[in-house]
Amino acid sequence: MRMRTLPLLMLPALLLPAMTLGACTQTQAEVERAQVREAGVQEKLAKELAGLVPGKPETCISQFPQKQSSGYGATILYRVNSGLVYRSDTVGGCEGIARGDILVTRTPSGQLCRGDIAQTFDQASRFPTGSCSFGDFVPYRKP
């Protein structure tokens, strides 16, 4: 009798990985929509950096004076003035700043550096929506 109930009890445990795997696959339509979204993000990013020339990547930038930040997918732009913009390609989940989430950093040194962790928060609810680490800061300047 025990031999028959054991396999029945194990059935959900055996099916769970298969159900989870099925939930992770994307349809072709979902893949295409994601590609279209990414192309749109890259187009907006290219417009923001049009006419500017990239310089040598820097590991840290000063937080002062305050810079205007904007997000384009996993990329954050810090606009210092009309002739200088820093680009940092992040790793993680800070894409929410593209939709208006607040970017929060905690750096005691007064600098933002490669590898520093940032968090994003929803403006209305103040709930955390993601976190990421900064990449190098590439200056883009007017020629």
Strand, helix or coil at 108?
coil
Read off the pTM.
0.75
Residue with tokens 């445990």: 13
Q: Which residues pair with 81 in a beta bridge?
A: 84
> What percent of the chain clears pLDDT 90, i.e. is strictly above it?
57
pLDDT in tens, 55-69: 999 999 998 877 888
Query: 108, 70 in Cβ contact below 8 A?
Result: no
Quickly state the pLDDT bin for 30 (edges 50, 70, 90).
confident
Higher pLDDT, 12 or 108: 108
Give the pLDDT score at 22: 54
* Cβ(60)–Cβ(134) below 8 Å: no
The pair of structure tokens assigned to 60 is: 């840290």
Give the pLDDT confidence of 86-104 residue by residue, as tens digits. Answer: 999 999 999 999 889 999 9
- Report CA 10 to chain centroid distance, whole Å: 39
